[in-house]
Structure 1
Amino acid sequence: MDYEFLRDVTGAVKVRMSMGHEALGHWFNEEVKGSLSLLNTVEQAARSVIGSERHWQHTGHEYTLWLDGEEVMIRANQLDFSGDEIEEGMCYYDEESLSLCGVEDFLRVVNAYRTFVNER
């Protein structure tokens, strides 16, 4: 999983993720927005479920983060719809709306993000 941190002209941090992990980047850009307190909460939750059967979920405005002892899933909240809403012959494109990764990989990105934010 490759990622890049940038600052826009206002100084806000923007995250770009490799193909297949775009939703993770969107989660940082839309939900975290530099909020280290949210990252602290998520990190603490991740560490509490590693090696267990438990899971934890945080629903934000645009994205939901779900994690268990092994995996993290970021899903756009707009994916909550029934299949009957799509016209026949059409399919829903969700490649940039859903990302999965391992907990340890996720925690490495969180740590790198935190470091980048604090480098002002």
Structure 2
Amino acid sequence: MDYQFVKDIEGNVRVQMSMDHEVIGHWFNEEVNADPALLDQVVKAATTLKGTEQQWQHTGREYTIALSDDEVMIQANLLAISIDELDEGMSYYDQESLAFCGFEDFFALVAAYRQFCR
């Protein structure tokens, strides 16, 4: 999982992610930029979950993040559409709307993001 941090013209930090993980960057750019305290909530939830079979989820304006014992899932809320609504022979492309990664990779990204923001 490769990533890069840049600052936009207004000075906001933008996260650019490698293919198959773009939605993680979108989550940072939309949800975390709007509510920086969200990262603290996610870290606290991950600490609480470690070694248990519990799960935690936060639904934001555009994206939902879900944590299990060892995996992070981020998906666009638009994925809540019903597959039954699609015509026969059609499939829904979700490669840029859904991503999974391990705790270590995700929280290394969180640490790097926080350091870049300072």
Calculate the TM-score normalised by the size of structure 1. Answer: 0.94
CA distance in 1, matches of 2:50, 2:36: 21
Q: Which residue of 2 aligns with 1:37?
A: 37
Identity %: 56
Pairs aligned (count): 118
Q: Which residue of 1 aligns with 2:58?
A: 58
CA distance in 2, matches of 1:30, 1:39: 13
Residue identity in the other structure for 2:9: V
Residues 31-40 or 79-88, more deviating: 31-40
Q: CA RMSD in A?
A: 1.1
CA distance in 2, matches of 1:83, 1:20: 21
Residue identity in the other structure for 1:42: V
Residue identity in the other structure for 1:10: E
Q: Which residue of 2 aligns with 1:24?
A: 24
Contact 1:5–1:15 (CA under 8 A) maintained in structure 2: yes
Residues 56-65 or 33-42, more deviating: 33-42
Q: For residues 27-86 of structure 1, what are the alpha-carbon distances to aligned partners after superposition, in whole Å with 9 as ceiling and x for unaligned?
A: 001100164311111111111111211110000000000001110000110001211111
Runs (4 or more) in structure 1 with deviation over 6 Å come to none
Contact 1:23–1:96 (CA under 8 A) maintained in structure 2: yes
Residue segments in structure 2 that go unaligned for 5+ positions in a row = none
Residues 73-82 or 33-42, more deviating: 33-42
